[in-house]
Structure 1
Amino acid sequence: MSKNIGFFSIFILGFITYYFFDLFYFKNIQQFFKEIFHSKAIAHVMAYTITLIPLVITSKILSPTKSISSLFSLDKSIIKGFTLAFLGTSPMLIGYGIHFKISTAINIESLFINTISSAFFEEIIFRAFLIGTLYRFTRLGFLSSILLGSLLFAQVHLYQSQNSMELIEIFAITFLGSAFFCLDLY
């Protein structure tokens, strides 16, 4: 019992540290690197990389013998990951194509940030660290780990809503999407 309390204490403290570090410093770190590299995309990757440090430290404390790539599932098949991502996001892409006018002006940096960088780091944070750690190292089980992690993932995306209906839609889409992308963990 004491071991479980210690594990959850470290896990929760690590995630909370990451969350507040990201909340309060991400934009400042991003701005700092944007001034150095004159690239929003590089600055975005650097800010995410630095704000992930609390999760890396927490993971190594919880499982000191495993490699970082193993702890964050970076040693898995890239083809399998991209296939799952393509299958999971295709309905959204088709829906956007039907309901919205396709822009002819493409900003490569924005495209990179919104389609690759943000998605990659969200997978690291929520699927690999949060849900993956709960599933692999606790007795919560697969379904409970997914439900808990997906609820949190959906909650952090609610800022994107403008009204009650959008709030419900964003919650449903992000919750279900998060659960879908956990299929790779099992």
Structure 2
Amino acid sequence: MKYTIKALAIISIFVFCHYVMRQFWGEGWSSWLSELDNLTGILFTPAKYTFLYGPLVIAAIILFKQSKPFESIGLNSSGFINYALAAIICCTPMAIGYGFLSDELNLSIPAIITGSVYAGFFEELIFRAALFGVLFKYCRWGFVPAALISSVIFGLGHIYQGNDAISALMAVAITTVAGTWFAWLYCECGYRIWFPMWMHIFMNAAYGIFGMSGGAVGDLQGNLFKATAIVLSIVYVEMLIRRGKQREITLSKLFQCTKNGLYTQQANLN
């Protein structure tokens, strides 16, 4: 029963943050922060993320206290550099492909920070760790229901990338699948946000730097190069498993997890 209560609490707090906290943000904060960072979003973006979703992160830490600080929200520092290097390798073919397809180059530092770094960090922290991770790892939900809740909401957040009803639905569908893939990476890489975060950052950065069109849906050639990053990330995880890391997502965990000691804490990165 305690898991059900905590799950309902986390979902309720997320809904409150996602829909109600926006009403308290106010135009005054937006104008002041935008003027302070000269409309770059460098200060505005992290301030808004923190304001809107801070209560969710704090609640996850309080409700699911762990032996290591911030472990409940996937911020265990172990593997930070290794996962960054792995993500660079996985995303390099995609970036090279985008370079061949594109005839423009956008090296705006503020755009990279706000569109890639902030998006990768905060979205993985909020959707993968504080929402999906808590429901799956601590509340014993199965992977499918936990991933669906977080990934569908994540997908709906990208509906603006569609130019019409069909493309909007496709954007939601594709980003929902992407959210599920990020959730799988989160689980298989020690329940830490680092690998999905780096993948998220580098993929967004490549997309923005080379001005790829089509939003989340993309075009055929662009999607083929994007697929290389996804495939290589899966190969990387399978390599970790072959080297001794326990597989986290199995058939027994797809719809319900009920046993104590079900989850391992660390990925083997040696």
Query: Following TM superposition, by how much is the alpha carbon of 1:122 offset from its aligned partner in structure 2, in angstroms?
Result: 0.5
Distance in 2 between residues matched to 1:99 and 1:171, nearest whole Å: 25
Distance in 2 between residues matched to 1:147 and 1:75, nearest whole Å: 25
Mapped pair 1:147 → 2:119: no
Mapped pair 1:49 → 2:42: no
Correspondence 1:1-186 to 2 at 5 A = 1=1, 3-21=2-20, 23-24=22-23, 25=25, 29-38=29-38, 39-65=40-66, 69-76=70-77, 77-83=79-85, 85-86=87-88, 93=95, 96-97=98-99, 99-103=101-105, 105-182=106-183, 183-186=185-188
Distance in 2 between residues matched to 1:156 and 1:81, nearest whole Å: 26
Extract unaligned runs of 5+ from structure 1: none
- Determine which structure has the larger helix proportion and give its number: 1
Distance in 2 between residues matched to 1:72 and 1:156, nearest whole Å: 21
Paired residues of 1:131 and 1:146 also in contact (CA < 8 A): yes
Aligned letter for 2:74?
S
Count of residues paired in the alignment: 184
SS at match of 1:52: helix
Query: Following TM superposition, by how much is the alpha carbon of 1:44 offset from its aligned partner in structure 2, in angstroms?
Result: 1.5
Say if 1:28 and 1:137 are closer, same or farther in 2 by CA, change over 3 A: farther
Aligned letter for 2:12?
L
Query: Following TM superposition, by how much is the alpha carbon of 1:97 offset from its aligned partner in structure 2, in angstroms?
Result: 4.1
Identity of aligned residues (%): 26
Distance in 1 between residues matched to 2:83 and 2:27, nearest whole Å: 29
Distance in 1 between residues matched to 2:129 and 2:59, nearest whole Å: 13
SS at match of 1:49: helix
Coordinate RMSD, CA, aligned: 2.9
Query: Following TM superposition, by how much is the alpha carbon of 1:98 offset from its aligned partner in structure 2, in angstroms?
Result: 5.3
Aligned letter for 2:156?
Q
Could you state the TM-score of these two structures normalised by the residue count of structure 2? 0.57
Write the deviation string for residues 133-162 of structure 1: whole angstroms up to 9, x where unpaired.
111112222233223321221122112211
Write the deviation string for residues 68-92 of structure 1: whole angstroms up to 9, x where unpaired.
5212211142234435654675676
Aligned letter for 1:12?
I
Distance in 2 between residues matched to 1:178 and 1:84, nearest whole Å: 19
Distance in 2 between residues matched to 1:91 and 1:171, nearest whole Å: 25
Distance in 1 between residues matched to 2:89 and 2:144, nearest whole Å: 21
Paired residues of 1:22 and 1:51 also in contact (CA < 8 A): yes
Extract unaligned runs of 5+ from structure 2: 189-270
Could you state the TM-score of these two structures normalised by the residue count of structure 1? 0.79
Aligned letter for 2:76?
D
Higher RCO (C-alpha 8 Å, min separation 6)? 2
Comparing 58-67 with 136-145, which one deviates more in the overlay? 58-67
Distance in 1 between residues matched to 2:97 and 2:170, nearest whole Å: 14
Q: Which is higher, the Rg of structure 1 or of structure 2? A: 2
